[in-house]
Amino acid sequence: MPELPEIASRAGEMRKALSGRTIRDVELLQPKCLNKTPAGMKRALKGATLGDTAYHGKWLFTETTRGHLLINLGMGGDMLLVREDELPEKRQAVLFFDDGEALSIRFWWFGHVHHVPEGKLGTHRMSAKLGPNALDVTKSEFRELLRGRHGAAKSFLLNQERIAGIGNAYSHDILFLAGLHPERKLDTLSGDEVDGLWQAIRDGLLPALRKRGAWYERDLRGRRGGFRMDDILVGYKEGKPCPTCGAEIVKKRTGSTASFFCPRCQPLNPKKKAAAKRRAAPRARTRKPAAKKPAKKTTPKKDTRKPARKTARRRKR
């Protein structure tokens, strides 16, 4: 499923490639992905010139001279900008431009192509309730978002109405970077842990954004994203050693999704974490006699934050 790094990359590509192009015609092969009748959609979009594209959560918003074009790839899909005589066979919608190129839109499962008139974006129910984009939240705004919340850390990250753009794939490494168990309750977090989670969201998403998203998604020209399995720290790495402490990464069903985490670096009970750190200290000394510094007693901050952290998810296809 595309998440913030992929959607933000697509928005940037669309901004560059589509701004200024005029829609000559529209092909709509899957009426249920539309918010209007196919005829109404055609009327709305034919003759529209495209402007800037932005993203909010998993939605792409393209301004046009005739209202807003909204695209959501759902569980996954691709948008390919090709010559109109090279359209891929599998597609649900196509925008034909006046210069002979076309944007083909294909959903692997189900997605949305919507049109919203100018000034009416607030009435678009599916996007109006979204929380702020995960990378746009300041540290103090993030503290406010968490205030009074009792749920589990992972559920919070996945809830698009709280914070938008994080899905299951990137959540594993974000929680690992924050040193938090996926089921850790938000009301037990210390101030440092809250700030650490904010930082972990950035460290968990930015490396993938810089690489134009994960390898299992493609850009407008069909090129795969540069963020690979090797870039992932603990996500989808069940049985592999934790990159920080060497313990075996476990996979556990948490709510409606599976979670991958290090049971030692991300204990559910933070007191156990401190004890585990103390236990880990002599072990480190036996492996490396030179390391004389014993681990500090109860530093709540994790030392797992690497400059180059990563994530992605296993491709199903």
Stretch of residues binding Zn ion (CB under 5 A), selected from 11-19, 41-49, 55-63, 257-265: 257-265
- To the nearest whole angstrom, how small is the minimum distance from the Cβ of residue 232 to Zn ion? 14
Each residue 210-249 as x (binds Zn ion by CB under 5 A) or -, in order, gives --------------------------------x-xx-x--
Q: Which is nearer to Zn ion, 39 or 275 (CB)?
A: 275
193-197: Cβ within 8 A, 24+ apart: 193/270, 193/300, 194/142, 194/143, 194/146, 195/139, 195/143, 196/301, 196/302, 196/305, 197/142, 197/146, 197/153
Q: Which is nearer to Zn ion, 218 or 264 (CB)?
A: 264
DSSP string, 132-198: -BTTT--HHHHHHHHTT--SBHHHHHH-TTTSBS--HHHHHHHHHHHT--TT-BGGG--HHHHHHHH
Residue 281 token pair? 């200290």
Residue 194 token pair? 């809250």
- Parallel, antiparallel or unpaired: strands 77-83 and 101-107: antiparallel
* H helix runs in 46-152, sequence order: 125-128, 139-146
Look at residues 1, 2, 4 and name the one whose alpha carbon lies nearest to residue 209.
4
Q: Which is nearer to Zn ion, 175 or 265 (CB)?
A: 265
Look at residues 1, 150, 180, 24 and name the one whose alpha carbon lies nearest to residue 74.
1
Phi, psi dihedrals of residue 248, rounded to the nearest 5°: -75, 130
Q: What 3-state class would DSSP assign to 53?
A: strand
Judged by CB under 5 A, which of 1, 69, 189, 262 binds Zn ion?
Answer: 262
- To the nearest whole angstrom, how small is the minimum distance from the Cβ of residue 267 to Zn ion? 10
- To the nearest whole angstrom, how small is the minimum distance from the Cβ of residue 168 to Zn ion? 20
Stretch of residues binding Zn ion (CB under 5 A), selected from 76-84, 87-95, 260-268, 292-300: 260-268
Q: Which is nearer to Zn ion, 112 or 172 (CB)?
A: 172
Q: Which is nearer to Zn ion, 76 or 196 (CB)?
A: 196
Q: What residue is closest to Zn ion based on CB?
A: 242
Q: Which is nearer to Zn ion, 56 or 237 (CB)?
A: 237
Please tell me the distance from the alpha carbon of residue 91 to that of residue 106, in angstroms, as a whole number: 4
Q: Which is nearer to Zn ion, 126 or 247 (CB)?
A: 247
Q: Is residue 22 within 8 Å of residue 98, measured between CB atoms?
A: yes
- To the nearest whole angstrom, how small is the minimum distance from the Cβ of residue 265 to Zn ion? 3
- To the nearest whole angstrom, how small is the minimum distance from the Cβ of residue 213 to Zn ion? 27
Binders of Zn ion in range 111-170 (CB under 5 A): none
Binders of Zn ion in range 49-68 (CB under 5 A): none
Residue 248 token pair? 């075996």
- To the nearest whole angstrom, how small is the minimum distance from the Cβ of residue 223 to Zn ion? 34
Look at residues 178, 199, 200 and name the one whose alpha carbon lies nearest to residue 189.
178
Largest Cα separation within the chain, whole Å, is 74
Indicate whether 26 belongs to the interface with Zn ion (CB under 5 A). no
Judged by CB under 5 A, which of 14, 265, 295, 312 binds Zn ion?
Answer: 265
Please tell me the distance from the alpha carbon of residue 159 to that of residue 91, in angstroms, as a whole number: 29
- To the nearest whole angstrom, how small is the minimum distance from the Cβ of residue 209 to Zn ion? 25
Judged by CB under 5 A, which of 10, 106, 218, 264 binds Zn ion?
Answer: 264
Stretch of residues binding Zn ion (CB under 5 A), selected from 7-15, 92-100, 206-214, 254-262: 254-262
Q: Which is nearer to Zn ion, 40 or 241 (CB)?
A: 241
Q: Contact residues for Zn ion (CB under 5 A)?
A: 242, 244-245, 247, 262, 264-265
